[in-house]
A and B are shown apart, each in its own frame.
Chain A
């Protein structure tokens, strides 16, 4: 089994601790070796790349230089997007690459033959869904899952080359493999509002309310996500929406948490208790736990 350099990203140390925890548990169970990049730094998401391109590319280059291998995996869609964008830009802009080298002064980084993979790709493509099916000990039968990909995983399609940018199916296939029922819905890649949660929460409330409503209309029991930003906007904002009289009460889990349950990992190793909307009632109702 290939060893991957693991880039947790800042969310994994804060709001998305349960994503990090469940990622490590799932990978350990699947014998996917994760080596956290020592001394990793910020990926340059929103603040940096909106303010200074050189800085945002340099931050990724710094991380590449620190990486023990050239196969890097991250669970965060924003980190994934920054790494992919940087690699794409460096490959297509040699003069920029030279400037970055001068800034970062890399010790071992000399080329751009890196692969940055999202955890979904590592599990679905590298590990393989057929292999995964053999490892399932507790199929998630009967749980209706709305797979939500958000925007950063799939766009811009030319750079991300992840899946169909309008109707991605990778997470849906994963859910099918572990026995769950992905629902057909049309808000898989809708904008969740992202960082507007801070300056313009009303925008985020309007957007997330639409996504949650669509998931409800599709009869989903839970929403599965692959991005800490999406998770917090869809999960945490339900409290504010409740105050507006919109009571969705739909749990928003990381796909690794659902996968962990199928692999027979204990609930406390998956951080289910850290979610805002408690998933246990729904999971119990569907006899998943």
Chain B
């Protein structure tokens, strides 16, 4: 016979103001099966919890209903209290009479009636609850980090330093990401490569890190603690084992005019190339598309030149399969193409460039050796116009969000330009200057007050060419006057977007993508580095635009989540998952079709002689999230959800209908 205890919380005034808790208590006390009903000012407080524990022991309760706030708030609290008193935690339920009742109603009488009903149907449910034990899932204590920019590098190093193996996958020939392209970093003007390359080398040398560059994740199977990933290691056509990175092949390659991706098209590279001098690994790769041998046979000069016989034109893509327990996505960002803006030339003007291209012009190792020369004619730039919010915050281009870093790097560009061209003039068109960060506002003031950058608050309506100059026409909204500035160079702070191909990768993992293509975190405030998929974490700009310090902090956050997971013997998961009745299951696998978590597997039932009797559905407890989709899809009710069984749901509904 059920012995249910009901505990009604006032939540200070939050519930008691609108709901007559005494009336609820008296009404529910008379309900069949309820042996104990009390109300208390704060049920979640230590004395409140003590009331529950005492009642369980003294009255020998077989089930508990706490009528209080949302289970999101305190289900754990009350279930723990029950556990301490020796009652299985899954025999405790919460009736939400705050968010679902007192907060949304004003009529005290009707709200009280509703509260009684809410409690009553949960009592009926609890009568049918069974004790459950959390599912234990074993963990493969090895992590996969996808993306080798600063986010992926930091996350990989942190996990590796924690003593666990990491596989770092990067699709480019070298790790380093966009940070390797930057000249200096705001607000301290640290040389970007000087602070990044030691970390890159550390990745290469770390005994716990296996680095796979020029590789992409092809497929992901499995679930938290037990992923199986397939990685395509693209053919470099250079044997990594024997290559010493001497560069003789590069010197010899006759294809010298290929636009270099690392220089964002401002410099040239050969068909066999290392993207930049500090690349890790320092091993060249042959670009099939431009290599004379792959295009029309012949050439093979690099092969002849190589003192180590490292060139291998017969190399094939390799598919590598690895088991990992956790995955960190650190896929980074791209800039939107500046040709989206036909009013800014739509890509027709060589001297209208984007921020990353300007970084390459500033860089001592860049295509101009750090001189600020115009791409069109290599003349020194004397006047430069920076335009912020190109794409960002422009709903007409479908990008309502702020790219966050542009205000700061524009200020940095203006400062560095002045450092390089003392008699030059920098102009900045801006909407607002958003400089929230340590030392950021001071940095912008420095650009304006000490380095003489002219900041104009307004938009640029048009750029056109005249007499070898770019005429930038805009408005200065502070003086209310239209302005025209003849410039040698225009730098557009184009919006940040998620990297190409990240949506496809997200689909392989089942990770949701937000409306702008960024990867979605599990909770915007309280779970910023986790995703909805257990065991998959986020780091860096794949989640939203952010700067280097934020990226590094988030990467360490994601790494610490992985380390916390790996420090456990096994992962405990909620037991409220689907369960198949193998007796009645006919193996139609309609459940498999609807399962969004790919948790349904095929299980063979054999007799004692080993003959196959039938194939039934099996719910992988590591993957099932307890959504219940399969229970609805199942044609003969062979699947049920633990803790939310059909019998329990019917009992709840009957309790409401009966009233």
Contacts and interface: CB of A to CB of B under 8 A. Distances in A.
B346 interface: yes
Contacts of A166: 341-343, 346, 462
Interface string B344-369: 00100000000000000000000000
Contacts of B462: 166, 186
B342 A217 contact: no
Contact of A167 (B346, B396, B465, B466): B346
B465 A164 contact: no
A97 interface: no
A186 B464 contact: yes
A164 B396 CA distance: 13
B489 to A, nearest CB: 18
A148 interface: no
A164 B464 contact: no
Contacts of B466: 214, 217
A187 B346 contact: no
Interface string B318-356: 000000000000000000000001110010000000000
Interface in B443-492: 462, 464-466
Interface string A195-220: 00000000000000000001001000
Contacts of B396: 157
Contacts of A214: 464, 466
Interface in B185-199: none
Interface core residue of A165, A166, A167 (most chain B CB under 10 Å)? A166
Contact of B465 (A157, A165, A186): A186
Chain A interface residue bracket vs B: under 10
B145 to A, nearest CB: 42
Nearest to B349: A186
Nearest to B346: A167
A24 to B, nearest CB: 34
A164 B465 CA distance: 19
A187 B342 contact: no
Contacts of B342: 164-167
Interface string A158-199: 000000111100000000000000000011000000000000
A187 B462 CA distance: 10
B595 to A, nearest CB: 42
A165 B461 CA distance: 12
Tier of interface size on chain B: under 10
A217 B469 CA distance: 14
B72 to A, nearest CB: 40
Nearest to A166: B342
B470 to A, nearest CB: 11
A164 B466 CA distance: 22
A204 to B, nearest CB: 16
A167 B346 CA distance: 9
A1 B630 CA distance: 58
A187 B464 contact: yes
Contacts of B346: 166-167
A49 B84 CA distance: 76
Nearest to B467: A217
A149 to B, nearest CB: 13
A165 B343 CA distance: 9
Nearest to B466: A217
Nearest to A156: B396
A42 to B, nearest CB: 31
Nearest to A213: B466
Contacts of B343: 166
Contacts of A165: 342
A170 B346 CA distance: 17
A108 to B, nearest CB: 37
Interface in A112-158: 157
Contacts of A187: 464
Interface string A69-82: 00000000000000
A217 B471 CA distance: 15
Contacts of B464: 186-187, 214
Contacts of A167: 342, 346
A72 B464 CA distance: 36
Interface string A26-62: 0000000000000000000000000000000000000
Interface string B54-81: 0000000000000000000000000000
Contacts of A186: 462, 464-465
A186 B471 CA distance: 11
A186 B442 CA distance: 39
Nearest to A187: B464
Contacts of A157: 396
A165 to B, nearest CB: 8
B632 to A, nearest CB: 39
A170 to B, nearest CB: 14
A217 B346 CA distance: 20
A72 B492 CA distance: 42
Nearest to A158: B396
Interface string B385-412: 0000000000010000000000000000
Interface string A208-247: 0000001001000000000000000000000000000000
A130 B21 CA distance: 82
Contacts of A164: 342
A165 B342 CA distance: 8
Interface string B367-391: 0000000000000000000000000
Interface string B563-593: 0000000000000000000000000000000
Given A164-B342, A166-B343, A166-B462, 6 more contacts: A166-B341, A186-B464, A186-B465, A187-B464, A214-B464, A217-B466
Across the A-B interface, give the 3 residue pairs with the lowest CB-CB distance, nearest first.
A166-B342, A186-B464, A166-B343
17 contacts: A157-B396, A164-B342, A165-B342, A166-B341, A166-B342, A166-B343, A166-B346, A166-B462, A167-B342, A167-B346, A186-B462, A186-B464, A186-B465, A187-B464, A214-B464, A214-B466, A217-B466
